[in-house]
Amino acid sequence: QVQLQESGPGLVKPSQTLSLTCTVSGGSISSGVYYWSWIRQYPGKGLEWIAHIYYSGSTDYNPSLKSRVTISVDTSKNQLSLKLSSVTAADTAVYYCARERRGFYGGNWGYFDYWGQGTLVTVSS
Amino acid sequence: EIVLTQSPGALSLSPGERATLSCRASQTVSSSYLAWYQQKPGQAPRLLIYGASNRATGIPDRFTGSGSGTDFTLAISRLEPEDFAVYYCQQYGSSPTFGQGTKVEIK
């Protein structure tokens, strides 16, 4: 059974960089079958896909966040990471990592079959 | 960006009743790349349906997804107590986006 666990600071000051790590267990990030994604959920409950990465390092980003986001993978530790720069209060959310499975006919994106429990990040001074 | 609009925003039903949730896309969702998730308070979303109509592993057959193009539906045939939750649709035919959710609450 695949499990994902997010970790990182729960409080970040405005203008600083948010950094989170997701540790994957029960499966290898290097399996080559899946993308690995970051998704956030605002306090008002809306969900927003942030970015994903393939084990090779290939990435895609949400166009609305692309200028501020970096996603990376460490296959030796079976981890993926997220950095979001220049944060504001609008970035306050629960951040999830998730395994992303591509559609039956392929394509660049997929659906999310395993999720971490999520970690709340609050942006405040 | 494909915008997904879910309706209704909330649905008040009794256990045993049928629930019908709608998800409408602003553009055609290619290859019927649409998924449905269930979320309970304090939990991560749980995958129910992918490819518009395929149930995920372990999902009971009272959950049925249908639709294509821009109009999709999730039906729950007979509501069980554990089905009262928020439901989200998500498209993955292009950069993923989610609907705003439908809350199914106990009447």
pLDDT at residue B63, as a whole number:
98
Amino acid B19: pLDDT: 98
Q: Which of B43, B95, B101 sits opposite A109 (nearest CB)?
A: B95
Residue B56 has pLDDT above 90, yes or no: yes
Considering only residues 56 to 75 of chain B, which have any Cβ-Cβ distance to chain A shorter than 8 Å? Answer: 56
pLDDT bracket for residue B76 (50, 70, 90): very high
CB distance B6 to B22 below 8 Å:
yes
Cβ neighbors of A49 (< 8 A, separation 6 or more) are A37, A38, A39, A62, B95, B96, B97, B98
User: Under an 8 A CB cutoff, do A107 and B92 touch?
Assistant: yes
The reported pLDDT for the residue numbered A111 is: 97
Please report the number of interchain residue pairs, chain A to chain B, with beta-carbon separation below 8 angstroms: 65
Instruction: Please indicate if any CB of chain B lies within 8 Å of the CB of A35.
Output: no
Q: Is residue B42 very low, low, confident or very high in pLDDT (cuts 50, 70, 90)?
A: very high
Mean pLDDT for the stretch of residues B1-22: 97
Q: First vs last Cα of chain B: how many Å apart?
A: 36
* Residues forming a β-bridge with A12: A123
CB–CB contact B45 A63 (8 Å): no
| CA B97 centroid distance within chain | 13
One pLDDT digit (tens) per residue for chain A, 125 residues: 999 999 999 999 999 999 999 999 999 998 878 999 999 999 878 999 999 999 888 999 999 999 999 999 999 999 999 999 999 999 999 999 999 998 877 788 999 999 999 999 999 99
Residue A15: its pLDDT value, please? Answer: 97
3-state class (DSSP) for residue A104? coil
Q: Looking up tokens 């997804």, which residue turns up? A: B65
pLDDT at B17: 97
